Amino acid sequence: MIYLDYSATTPVSRKVLEEDALFHQRSFANCNSIHALGKAALEEVDKATNTILDKLNLKDYSITYTSGATESNNLALKGIAYINKEQGKHIITTAFEHGSIVSCLNYLANQGFEIDIVDIDDQGQVDLRHLQSLITDQTILVSIGAVNSELGIIQDLKKIKDITSQYPNITFHSDMTQAVGKIKTDFSVVDLLSFSGHKIYGFKGIGALIHRKNIDLRPLIHGGKSLSKYRGGTPPTSLIYSLAIALEDIYKNFEEKEEKVKKLNLYLRNQLKTIKNVFINSPMNALANILNFSLISSTSHQVQKYLSDKEIYVSTTSACSSNQGFSRVVKVLTKDDLRSQSSIRVSISHLSEKTEIDALINALEAYDESC
């Protein structure tokens, strides 16, 4: 089995599994309970929160734990939109966002919010002049993902913040699901950021929305007093604990892991160039974990199925839009229907090996020759 789909999800690390087992042995109480056991559980959770904020270097931020990045994105966008709707109903985003952002903004558009899409250049970078020109006195929210999940394009959030911070009514949110654990950056350039445990070798079912302490949100899930006033319900203490362990672990020996992924990416890039019908869609400066290409002699689904039959696992688009048959993101960047209908996302990790890339290349070569 050759797994090259680490941006869809990652296997749970041994460290997370071991620590999780220990956590369950020592702490099962409800951290909302005010007895000593509850207080001990709350201490565990508070420690985990401090670890996460510390690792991401986020002072003056709080965390609302969620079920994953989809929920975090929903809480960020709807939470900000609803609470600020008297100030304005204008939101700016890009055409590169994950389906969870797109669906949520479509929903808000039906609720009377106005959504504008900022242009991108031929390298996929946000056009800053266009962004500036879209801002009005009604603009309350700018949501721009840090790393696109299909192409790996990394946005310069600092430059975007330099613009949005000139407007006190604008809150700046970023979906950092493909960035956390894969890049080291100044995460504090945004007011809110979303990410998910299962993309960083943690469990599925836990995510976080990290927000500046002075930001107010309308909750999506109402309930009794809980860890965060923005999400009711009993906090999943062990999952929160595991999220902190996963984050700590992924940033351990980070430079070594990053170097390995960069080398594999370059090797894959160079090998792909030798296949006749391949066009590489990810720009050279994209995140090394993601390499998107099109094998234009076939459709994405045909190639994916062929590889899957050989136990080589890749994606067509992001896992959540994989039934579409084309990539809207590749279409936006390349403006080419054929490339968008035949795009494949390979996502690698520090766990990947050169022999796995070789197996993928051999399979693709054989496939291309047979077409």
Question: By C-beta, is 178 or 265 nearer to ligand PLP?
Answer: 178
Active site residue 320: yes
Least Å distance between CB 70 and ligand PLP? 3
Per CB under 6 A, 177 contacts ligand PLP: yes
Angle among Cα 246, 98, 9 to the nearest 5 degrees reads: 35
Per CB under 6 A, 69 contacts ligand PLP: yes
Q: Which residue is nearest to ligand PLP (CB)?
A: 68
Question: By C-beta, is 74 or 164 nearer to ligand PLP?
Answer: 74
Question: H or E stretch including 269?
Answer: helix 254-272
Number of residues that bind ligand PLP (CB under 6 A): 15
- Report how far residue 234's alpha carbon sits from residue 224's, in angstroms, rounded to the nearest whole number: 9
Question: By C-beta, is 41 or 154 nearer to ligand PLP?
Answer: 154
DSSP 227: S
Encode 115-131: b = buried (16+ Cβ within 10 Å), e = exposed: bbebbbeeebbbebeeb
Per CB under 6 A, 318 contacts ligand PLP: yes
Per CB under 6 A, 282 contacts ligand PLP: no
With contacts defined by CB under 6 A, name the span among 21-29, 131-139, 281-289, 314-322 that binds ligand PLP: 314-322
- List the one residue from 124, 181, 207, 236 that touches ligand PLP (CB under 6 A): 207
**Who's near 103: CB < 8 A, 6+ residues apart?**
none
Per CB under 6 A, 236 contacts ligand PLP: no
Pairing between strand 207-212 and 192-196?
antiparallel
Per CB under 6 A, 145 contacts ligand PLP: yes
Per CB under 6 A, 95 contacts ligand PLP: no
CA distances (Å), 1 to each of 53, 218, 312, 314, in order?
A: 36, 45, 6, 11
Per CB under 6 A, 98 contacts ligand PLP: yes
With contacts defined by CB under 6 A, name the span among 37-45, 63-71, 129-137, 263-271 that binds ligand PLP: 63-71
**Who's near 18: CB < 8 A, 6+ residues apart?**
none
Residue 2: strand, helix, or coil: strand
- Report how far residue 138's alpha carbon sits from residue 169's, in angstroms, rounded to the nearest whole number: 8
Active-site positions? 320
Binding site residues, ligand PLP, CB under 6 A? 68-70, 98, 100, 145, 149, 175, 177-178, 196, 207, 318-320
